[in-house]
Amino acid sequence: MIKLIATGIWILVVTLGGVYAAVTFGNKGANPTAEVVHPPHFVQSETVTLPVVVDGKVSGYFILRASLQVDEDALKEVNVPVPTFLTDELYTLLVGDKLVDVKAADKFDVNGFKAKIKDGLNARLEKPLVKQVLIEQMDFISKEEIEARDPNKKPQQIVVNTDPPPPKATAAASSGH
């Protein structure tokens, strides 16, 4: 019985000594003045379906999902829901300005489209909030394809996703503020 108690005390002393040594000597190389690097902050949009109107009639729909890499400090100063502004900017560019010609989708300038979204949002919010735009999905499906309801027919991809997926939004980011 005494051997068991002595072994327990020995294990306790060795463990406490190891923890003390790790805490005392392990922190010597850390630079206390080093700046903490925060991971990028992303704001995700929902999947948006936008009509394509040709000659006053709907000819199809864009299916689009995008994310914004934003400046976290500037985001704290913005009192509006950023995903709503993103949806409105997408609607303005694709429906109002007709930026994409579906018949010539292979000539679509993805980087120019991203730059217009970034510049438009920064101008509307009057802050350099948006650092980068990530297009997660951008497809076109014609009205005929919808009416045919062919499950084997896939939507025409306007943008092949080359951007890495953004990390999942935190609770604060999902509220839009």
Domain ranges of the chain: 41-174
Each residue of 35-70: pLDDT tens digit?
777 778 888 888 888 888 888 888 888 888 888 888
In this predicted structure, what is the pLDDT of residue 41? 84
Question: DSSP 3-state assignment of 167?
Answer: coil
Q: Provide the CB-side half-sphere exposure for 164 (13 A, CA).
A: 5
Is the pLDDT at 114 greater than 70? The verdict is yes
Each residue of 62-92: pLDDT tens digit?
888 888 888 888 888 888 888 888 888 888 8
Which tokens in the block code for residue 149? 């309801």
In this predicted structure, what is the pLDDT of residue 25? 81
In this predicted structure, what is the pLDDT of residue 16? 93
pTM for the full predicted model: 0.62
Each residue of 134-147: pLDDT tens digit?
988 888 888 888 87
What gap in Å lies between CA 8 and CA 20, rounded to an integer?
A: 18
Closest CA to 70 of 11, 123, 130: 130
C-alpha gyration radius of the chain: 26
Report how far Cα 56 is from the mean position of its chain's Cα atoms. 34
In this predicted structure, what is the pLDDT of residue 158? 67
Is 153 in contact with 145 (CB distance < 8 Å)? Answer: yes
- Percent of the chain exceeding pLDDT 90 equals 10
Question: What are the distances in angstroms from CA 120 to CA 79, 93, 103, 173?
Answer: 17, 10, 25, 21
Q: Mean pLDDT score of the chain, rounded to an integer?
A: 80
What CATH code is assigned to 41-174? 3.30.479
